Structure 1
Amino acid sequence: MGTVSVPVIVSVADDQLADLPAVVDALRDAGLRLGEVLIAAGVVTGTVDSDRISSLSAVPGVVDVERERTVGLPPPDSPVQ
């Protein structure tokens, strides 16, 4: 069984935002397939092989790496609200 690609959200330290392009390059080198870079929030999204998540956490300037989650809500006319 091969590795599974998972969506992740990477939080970058506030004091590293001025050097965000270098952090993004290091994340790519660590295996991140880039999705979006949200500069104002200091967040980078993308996908990575599940066995490489810890590699992303080791990148200088990275505060947290978490798997992206999906939340489903019932439709507005549903009796469960």
Structure 2
Amino acid sequence: MAEEQVVISVADDQVGDMATVVDALRRAGLRVAEVLDSVGVVTGTVDGDALDSLSTVPGVAEVERSREFHLD
């Protein structure tokens, strides 16, 4: 499957332990691009067939596909 860009929201009660959540996301197949500790957000890319596994990582509140918009 194609690679997907994702934005992951970390549960409020897990923001203080972002390193653990990010490590678990990496083990689930996420290639981390950026970690925004202060707002509990992680961005990165994942193979499409591993996308569903990200939402099962403990501490993950939501996984969204990143959208790109082009204005011409």
Give the TM interval when normalised to the shorter protein.
over 0.9
Whole-Å separation in 1 of the counterparts to 2:51 and 2:39: 21
Aligned twin of 2:24: 26
Whole-Å separation in 2 of the counterparts to 1:73 and 1:12: 31
Larger radius of gyration: 1
Aligned twin of 1:4: 2
> Offset at 1:40?
1.1
TM-score when normalising by structure 2: 0.95
Whole-Å separation in 1 of the counterparts to 2:70 and 2:45: 21
Task: Report the identity percentage.
Answer: 58
Written as runs of structure 1 = structure 2, the 5 A alignment for 1:16-55 is 16-55=14-53
> Offset at 1:41?
1.2
> Offset at 1:71?
1.6
Q: Secondary structure at the match of 2:42?
A: strand
Whole-Å separation in 1 of the counterparts to 2:44 and 2:65: 10
5+ unaligned residues in a row in structure 1: which ranges?
A: 75-81
TM-score when normalising by structure 1: 0.85
The residue type equivalent to 2:15 in the other structure is L
Which one has more relative contact order, counting CA pairs under 8 Å at least 6 apart?
Answer: 2
Root-mean-square deviation (CA), in Å?
A: 0.8
Q: Secondary structure at the match of 1:70?
A: coil
The residue type equivalent to 1:63 in the other structure is A
